[in-house]
Amino acid sequence: MSYQWDFRLVVLDWRMWLDAAGNTLLVCAAALALAVPLGLLLAAARMFGPAPLRWAVIGYVDFMRTSALLILIIWFYFAFPMLFGINLSPFMAATVAIGLQTAAYFAELCRAGINAVDRGQWEAARAIGMRTTTMLRLIIFPQALRRIVPILFSLVAEVIKGSSLAAVITFGELTYAASQVSADTYRPIETYTVVALIYFVIIFTASRLASHFERRLGFQR
């Protein structure tokens, strides 16, 4: 028995797919906009902060990294409003959950990148009289960045894939749209094939952009 593929109904409403893809990108961008600065702060606090702050950051990072993203998303959507009396839209709940978890990963990535800079570089910078902030800015961060940027892309890919979990709180991104289309058209195989292709195109494009960006910045080492 061979399956009769029929994509017509599935792609009929292409504007809807475009909107959904836009929402996926939007929630990812918002989550990253939260994760990157927060991750930097966490990394700085963990590396250079006083002991109690370091412990707090270690606790936060461990907790976030061992949490299931799906549970975090559900928690921020359903539990957070009950506990704090602040209602979060599906978009906000997804952004906060993905952003907070990604911040923990990004903080660890930054810390690893900074620690990977040879001790001799720190010593040479200190030996010519650089203060810590100058040393970090001119010597350590630029070298850490070369290690961080390539790995940052795989983190971005994880964020894009993770955003599909926001479907469970009815945020209108790609996976949620797919479930709707599938229910409307009775064509689940075609629908999820299409949505898989869209994810591929988005992540593949992001990957090309990332390597272009790496080359532009001369991160060839």
Partner 1 sequence: MSEPATEARLKVRISNLHKSFGHMEVLKGIDLDIRHGEKVSLIGPSGSGKTTLLRCVNFLETLTSGEVYFEGERVGARKVGDRWLPARDRDLARLRTRIGMVFQRFNLFPHLDVLTNIMIGPVSVLRRDRAEAEAEAMALLEKVGLAHKAKAYPEALSGGQQQRVAIARALAMKPSLMLFDEATSALDPELVGEVLKVMHDLADEGMTMIIVTHEMEFARDVSNRVIFMDHGLVVEAGPPEQVFREPAQERTRAFLRAVLDKQAYRVH
DSSP track, 179-214: HHHHHHHS-HHHHHHHHHHHHHHHHHHHHHHHHHHH
Q: Which is nearer to partner 1, 25 or 149 (CB)?
A: 149
The tokens for 45 are 């606090």
Nearest C-alpha neighbor of 164 from the set 181, 179, 143: 179
Whose Cβ is closer to partner 1: residue 35's or residue 135's?
135
How near is the Cβ of 129 to partner 1 at its closest, in Å?
3
Nearer Cβ to partner 1 (130/206): 130
Q: How many other CB atoms sit within 10 Å of the CB of residue 58?
A: 13
Instruction: Of 94, 213, 216, 81, give the one whose Cα is nearest residue 162.
Output: 94
How many C-alpha atoms does 142 have within 13 Å on its Cβ side? Answer: 9
Tell me the closest approach of the beta carbon of residue 52 to partner 1, in angstroms: 20
Cβ nearer to partner 1, comparing 52 with 129: 129
- Compute the least distance from the CB of residue 112 to partner 1, in Å: 18
CB of residue 142 vs partner 1: minimum separation in angstroms?
Answer: 5
Residues that bind partner 1 (CB under 8 A): 118, 120-121, 123-132, 134, 138-139, 142-143, 146, 221
